[in-house]
Amino acid sequence: MRITLTYEVVDKEGIILPVHYNYLIQSLIYRTFSEDLAQKLHDVGFKFEKRTFKLFTFSRILEKGEKKDNVFLFKKHISFYFSSPFLKIIEDIGMRALSLPTVELMSQRLFISGIEVITPPKIGTSNLIKMLSPLTMHSTLKKEDGSHKSYYYKPKEKEFSTLIEANARKKYSLIKEKDAKDLSLEFKPVHFSVKENLCVIKFKQTPIEAYTGIFELSGSKELIETTYDAGLGDRNPEGFGMWEIWKGGNLGDDNV
């Protein structure tokens, strides 16, 4: 399920955010959750074998910001999509957002001015999708000296689709409490360039390689619907991997 959250500034002409604002939006989300849910998601999450999932994601800011140096300036309000496969998480953030008189975002006082429930799209066994927040997929590799490094896969690498499928199966198993071994998911770049669609986004000073673009998702509807609600690929609760059905038109993202 997906909603739009819209915030307006209280006593200023606009809202200023750094270019790398993912952590700030995530922090706003956690501060909006009820205390019990925030603690559960942050500290425990949903465990699948050795992996932990939060099972929510959010988009980039939907309004076009004016970019100056390392900041975006937004007029009066900002909005973004928030998504989770669990209704209780959606209800929690929605009710709590309405109950808070104001919230602070980089010392700017904001209030919630609108919440809209988004009608889910028709999802088939083959879909063209556009990323609403960049897509990332990585593995943690052990170096010879014993230290670890992250390797970020490019969407054109064959491992990318395999890892996307495995990731979606884990999420499905957690959400539905069913085995997903018979479900399949294939990922293909359609309108995509490694150079032009690469976004390096810092999350708490850690650079993350992620990609915008138009892609094809095909296979089991159950897995595709899972990625619509819970996010596609890695780092979904950090603001990566949200998508919408692409109907043609603009390929760009002004706030990436």
Q: What is the pLDDT of residue 249?
A: 65
Distance, CA of 140 to CA of 116 (rounded, Å): 38
Going by C-alpha positions, the residue among 250, 230, 255 that lies closest to residue 240 is: 230
Residue-by-residue DSSP string for the chain = -EEEEEEEESSSSEEEEES--HHHHHHHHHHHS-HHHHHIIIII-EEETTEEE---EE---SSPPEEETTEEEEESEEEEEEE-S-HHHHHHHHHHHHH-S-EEETTEEEEEEEEEEEPPPP--SEEEEEESS-B--EEEEE-TTS-EEEEEPPTTSHHHHHHHHHHHHHHHHHHH-S--TT--EEEEEEE--HHHHEEEEEETTEEEEEE-SEEEEEE-HHHHHHHHHH-SSS-GGGT---EEE--SS----TT-
Going by C-alpha positions, the residue among 153, 147, 122 that lies closest to residue 224 is: 122
Q: Which CATH architecture has domain 126-245?
A: 2-Layer Sandwich (3.30)
Q: What is the pLDDT of residue 142?
A: 76
Domains in the chain: boundaries: 2-118, 126-245
pTM: 0.94
Q: What is the pLDDT of residue 252?
A: 61
Return per-residue pLDDT of the chain as tens, 256 residues: 999 999 999 987 899 999 999 999 999 999 999 999 999 999 999 999 888 999 999 999 999 999 998 999 999 899 999 999 999 999 999 999 999 999 999 999 999 999 999 999 999 999 999 999 999 999 988 777 777 889 999 999 999 999 999 999 999 999 999 999 999 999 999 999 999 999 999 999 899 999 999 999 999 999 999 999 999 999 999 999 999 999 876 666 667 7
Cα angle for residues 52, 213, 251 (degrees, 5° grid): 135
Do residues 213 and 189 touch, judged by C-beta distance below 8 A?
A: yes
Tokens matching residue 183? 């479900």
Q: What is the pLDDT of residue 250?
A: 65
Q: What is the pLDDT of residue 72?
A: 96
| CATH number given to 2-118 | 3.30.70.1890
Q: What is the pLDDT of residue 97?
A: 96
